[in-house]
Amino acid sequence: MAKTVLIVDDSESIREVVNFTLQNEGYDVLVGVDGDDALQFLDGRPIDIIITDLHMPNMDGLELIRRVREMDDYKHIPILFLTTESQAAKKMEAKQAGATGWIIKPFVPAKLLSAISRVLR
Amino acid sequence: MIDKFKAKFVEESLDNVNDLEEALFALENDMQSKDLIERIFRAMHSLKGGGAMFGFNHLSDFTHHLENIFDKVRNSKIEVTPDLISLTFSAVDEIKYLLEKGDLTAKDDLDEYNRMMGQIQNFLQGGGPGNQESISASDDNTPAGDSGEKTYLISFIPGEDLLQNGTNPLFLLDDLHALGKGHSIVYTHKIPSFENIESENNYCLWQIILSTNESVNEIKDVFIFVEDECDLSVEELGNGGFEMTPAVEKFIENARNSNTLIKVSDLKVLLNKNETEGKKTEQGQENTETDQGRKKSQLKEHKISSIRVASRKIDELVNLVSELVTTQAQLSVYAEKKGDNDILELAENVQKLSRQLRDNAFEISLIPMQSELMRFQRLVRDLSKELGKEIEFVIEGGDIELDKNIIEHLTDPLLHILRNSVDHGIEKPDERVAAGKSPKGNIYFKAYHAGASVLIEVTDDGRGIDVESIRAKAVSKGMIEENEELSHKEILNLIFLSGFSTRDTVSGVSGRGVGMDVVRKKISEIRGEVTIDSEVGQGTTVTLRLPLTLSIIDGLLVKIGENQYVVPIASIEKIFALDKSQLKDSFNRVVIIDNEQLPYVDMREIFKEEVKESETPQMVLVRHEERRLGLMVDEVLGEHQTVVKPMGRYLTSHEVVSGASILGDGSISLVIDTNRVLQLTSTGKFRGKTKTSKE
């Protein structure tokens, strides 16, 4: 069965690129525009991985990660976050919130896929 | 493949830029606001990230530095100052330019780019120690490692909570094995007794002997996500590959049984001893990747609250709906004629649906004025600085929605009106003080609904327009006779005539020959009207009246003489049946209805229909703001969804008609512009005689 990816980003163009790339690879893709919007998908349905931006309105990525880690259904699924900041602080913060790994923007589709394959097979 | 997302990125970025600008304006008034700074930062951040992804390298670089400034602002290392805001405003312009052009090549462009960049960097350096990390955040810069195979001992000792963040250590081992030939040793001695096991914890540790051509960095890279959650060491065992021999096997077995990790030194000794032995035991773990039926693009669940659609598609939709409405009218007529109940019922349903469809289609094509307002704010701000004037620009009703085609046509006229207000209207601070006003001038921009139209008022409290000087000028230009009697309003309206400009000296700002006549022309192209009112010393108000949408209205079909006309329902207040006797007694075209005196006009006269005594005339009461007027028609026929078609060049001068519509039976009816009728009645004039509005 195809794996399901939930992508969360407030930037439409990023969402499109990620969505396009993943669908081409045969993933099922769910799309949220911010943390708040993403929560609606976390209703118990199978989701194999979450890829989220950190800076978002309404609910940012950190908060989203924290929330997901509190949900029984999704406690242990891999969560990758997108970041441009190469600063360690932000990464640490996200990791402490419960993120599995990260993808550094800008990325090419191949990089995105390899990051996913690191945590999901 | 990235290319096809470029256009979308640009579009989205323009939204971001808009938001950025908006936040900047707000920041100018509230320099401490954390929220605003955060908003600005986020907008820049998106621009930067996207820019790099979609090949806008200059943009990305540029916003990166800008972002650095605001990062410091965010962390209270730099203070928000008017200088910073001004700099950011100019930077926003550059960003827009970069979005339009992509990466720059022309020398002029590059010079300007570097100049701006220099300013930003100066600011950064002035505002604190610049810790400029490079933007090239690509993390695949593998240093060309030593060629040739080497063998390493990797010890991977994760913490107990490794699994809790969604990490699967087996994937890591897989990745290691993918780098070369490896042998994994797992130590399980830390697993507690069954009753003490925490099922969500990890108790295993691993050592891997790996022969690979890859560098140490590449190996460590496998663990990049978990390096903070584990003890990791990668130690070199020696050059060349690794071969499993019985002795080594035994050695490993011992280590596992005694629960002591292998030491590099011990293994090294053993390996060197084995060098001469030629036994081979292959240990390769091939990842047979199960074909998960990838490559199959599948339909997915999708939930997005809004989508972008090319405006061309919406135009087409509205066009089709217009056609549908016309066809539906024909169907209704046919059904009526046939008298077949089934068809009648169908026709009614189609009518209901097409009306809903129409309303929906129109709603889609409405957009808020907001996005344009930014340009206005910018204009007022920049221009007032340039002219040394202090101006408070207040916007009300920015969320009013208008047909996008109307908004497109609206921008230039409004910019011109605002330019006039800033340049000619508002005085310099000292002049204002001398005139007993506050040094700061005010310009109000107000948009609101009024019936079927939207009104936009631009009011300034500046010096106003001197009626006498307009009059003198009009006389000197031969537009009016010297002794012609004109009201205050009529004189003011002279400035809408072509070739009129109140300022003798042409300033760089306005009065470049593009005067109010162009404004009026543009506005009337979208079936709008523009009026002006002014008092010397008090200020000036320019009012635009615009239709909500351009093409379809709810109309009331009436009969005047032998022809059918359409009155827009939105402007109708009531419909009365009249008694002939009421009219007989009427004096000066006033009729008393509901104990109220109402002026009325006989529409037959206006349209030059044959005037004859009607047995049962009806009165359609229309209203515009406070003014009311009865339109006397011969018969009210019913409602009609009216697809308004423009009248064509020759008939646009017909003042009380705003368009034509095709009726269900194929005949044509004219759409009455009730506001014009009201206006012309109140000045006591009908077509042909009004010097003020027609040349």
Looking at the structure, tell me whether residues B486 and B574 fall in a common domain.
Answer: no
Looking at the structure, tell me whether residues B376 and B518 fall in a common domain.
Answer: yes
Of A1, A24, A102, the CB nearest to B297: A24
Interface test with B, best of A4, A7, A11, A27 (most B CBs within 10 A): A11
Kindly report the number of other CB atoms within 10 A of residue B579's CB atom: 11
Of B167, B228, B294, the CB nearest to A119: B167
Looking at the structure, tell me whether residues B20 and B45 fall in a common domain.
Answer: yes
pLDDT at A48: 92
Looking at the structure, tell me whether residues B529 and B395 fall in a common domain.
Answer: yes
Of B5, B48, B166, the CB nearest to A79: B166
B317-375: pLDDT as tens digits = 888 888 888 888 888 888 888 888 888 888 889 988 988 888 788 778 788 887 778 88
Residues (pLDDT < 70) of chain B are 1-4, 126-147, 273-306, 451-452, 498-514, 549-552, 582-587, 611-614, 624-626, 646-655, 682-695
Q: Give the domain CATH number at B399.
A: 3.30.565.10
Domain count, chain A: 1
Q: Give the domain CATH number at B610.
A: 2.30.30.40
Which residues of B fall within a CB distance of 8 Å from A33? Answer: 304-305
- Which of B300, B332, B367 lies at the terminal end of a domain, its last residue? B367
As to burial, measured by CB atoms within 10 angstroms (0-12 exposed, 13-18 middle, 19+ buried), residue B283 is: middle
Looking at the structure, tell me whether residues B107 and B161 fall in a common domain.
Answer: no
Is B144 within the bounds of a domain? Answer: no
ipTM surpasses cut 0.95: no
Of A98, A99, A106, the CB nearest to B49: A106
Which residues of B fall within a CB distance of 8 Å from A119? Answer: 166-168, 171, 225
Distance CA(B670)–CA(B572), nearest Å, equals 17
Kindly report the number of other CB atoms within 10 A of residue B88's CB atom: 26
pLDDT at B330: 85
Are B171 and A104 a contacting pair at CB < 8 A? no
Looking at the structure, tell me whether residues B407 and B535 fall in a common domain.
Answer: yes
pLDDT at A29: 92
Looking at the structure, tell me whether residues B363 and B374 fall in a common domain.
Answer: no
Looking at the structure, tell me whether residues B506 and B604 fall in a common domain.
Answer: no
Mean pLDDT of A23-43: 90
Give the 3-state secondary structure of residue B321: helix
pLDDT at B694: 35
State both tokens at B605.
Answer: 């006269």
Minimum distance, in Å, between the CA of residue A23 and any CA atom of chain B = 5
Domain of B197 in residue numbering reads as 150-274
pLDDT at B614: 66
Are B304 and A24 a contacting pair at CB < 8 A? no
Are A3 and B302 a contacting pair at CB < 8 A? no
Looking at the structure, tell me whether residues B573 and B674 fall in a common domain.
Answer: yes
Minimum distance, in Å, between the CA of residue B81 and any CA atom of chain A = 25
Looking at the structure, tell me whether residues B268 and B346 fall in a common domain.
Answer: no
Which residues of B fall within a CB distance of 8 Å from A104? Answer: 137-139
Minimum distance, in Å, between the CA of residue B77 and any CA atom of chain A = 17
**Measured CA distances, B405 to B279, B365, B401 (Å):** 82, 8, 12
Domain count, chain B: 5
A71-120: pLDDT as tens digits = 988 988 999 998 876 666 778 888 888 888 888 877 778 888 888 888 88
pLDDT at B135: 37
As to burial, measured by CB atoms within 10 angstroms (0-12 exposed, 13-18 middle, 19+ buried), residue B103 is: middle
Which residues of B fall within a CB distance of 8 Å from A34? Answer: none
Whether omega before A106 lies within 30 degrees of 0, making that bond cis, reads: yes
Handedness of CA B291, B295, B301, B306 (dihedral sign): positive
Are B138 and A104 a contacting pair at CB < 8 A? yes
B397-445: pLDDT as tens digits = 887 888 877 888 888 888 888 888 888 888 889 888 888 888 889 999 9
Domain of A98 in residue numbering reads as 4-119
Residue type, B465: I
Residues facing B151 on adjacent strands: B211, B238
Looking at the structure, tell me whether residues B356 and B433 fall in a common domain.
Answer: no
Handedness of CA B316, B322, B323, B325 (dihedral sign): positive
B232-261: pLDDT as tens digits = 888 888 877 777 777 788 888 888 888 888
Closest among B623, B603, B622 to B614, alpha carbons compared: B603
Q: Give the domain CATH number at A9.
A: 3.40.50.2300
Contact criterion met (CB below 8 Å) for B566 and B556: yes
pTM beyond cutoff 0.80: no
Looking at the structure, tell me whether residues B199 and B86 fall in a common domain.
Answer: no
- Which of B525, B547, B569 lies at the terminal end of a domain, its last residue? B547
Closest among B419, B330, B337 to B379, alpha carbons compared: B419
